[in-house]
Amino acid sequence: MGRQKLRRINQNALVSNVLESGKPLYETIKGNWNETYFQNNWPLVLELACGKGEYSVGLAEVFPEKNFVGVDVKGDRLAVGSKQAIENQLFNVAFLRTNVIFIEDFFAENEVSEIWLTFPDPFNIKQRERRRLTHSLFLERYKRIMRPEGWLHLKTDNQELFDFTIQELESFGICHLVHTYDLYQSALNKDHFGIKTRFEQIFTEKGFPVHYLRCQFK
Q: Which is nearer to ligand SAM, 118 or 180 (CB)?
A: 118
Distance separating alpha carbons of residues 8 and 76, to the nearest angstrom: 5
Q: Which is nearer to ligand SAM, 39 or 54 (CB)?
A: 54
Distance separating alpha carbons of residues 95 and 85, to the nearest angstrom: 10
Q: Which is nearer to ligand SAM, 35 or 163 (CB)?
A: 163
Shortest separation between residue 171's beta carbon and ligand SAM, angstroms = 21
Phi, psi (5° rounding) for residue 159? -65, -35
Using alpha carbons only, give the angle 165, 166, 167 rounded to the nearest 5 degrees.
90
Cβ contact 29:176 at 8 Å:
no
Shortest separation between residue 58's beta carbon and ligand SAM, angstroms = 11
Q: Which is nearer to ligand SAM, 72 or 114 (CB)?
A: 72
Residue 212: strand pairing partners: 155, 180
Which one is catalytic: 72, 105, 121, 157?
Answer: 121
Beta strands in 89-198 (DSSP E): 93-97, 112-118, 146-156, 174-180
Distance separating alpha carbons of residues 134 and 164, to the nearest angstrom: 8
Residue 121: active-site member: yes
Shortest separation between residue 168's beta carbon and ligand SAM, angstroms = 16
First to last CA, the chain: 44
Shortest separation between residue 77's beta carbon and ligand SAM, angstroms = 5
Residues that bind ligand SAM (CB under 6 A): 49-51, 72-74, 77, 99-101, 118-121, 197-200
Distance separating alpha carbons of residues 164 and 167, to the nearest angstrom: 5
In Å, how far from its chain's centre is CA 44? 12
Shortest separation between residue 194's beta carbon and ligand SAM, angstroms = 15
Measured from each CB, the residue nearest to ligand SAM is 51
Q: Which is nearer to ligand SAM, 120 or 150 (CB)?
A: 120
Residues annotated as catalytic (active site), given as ranges: 121
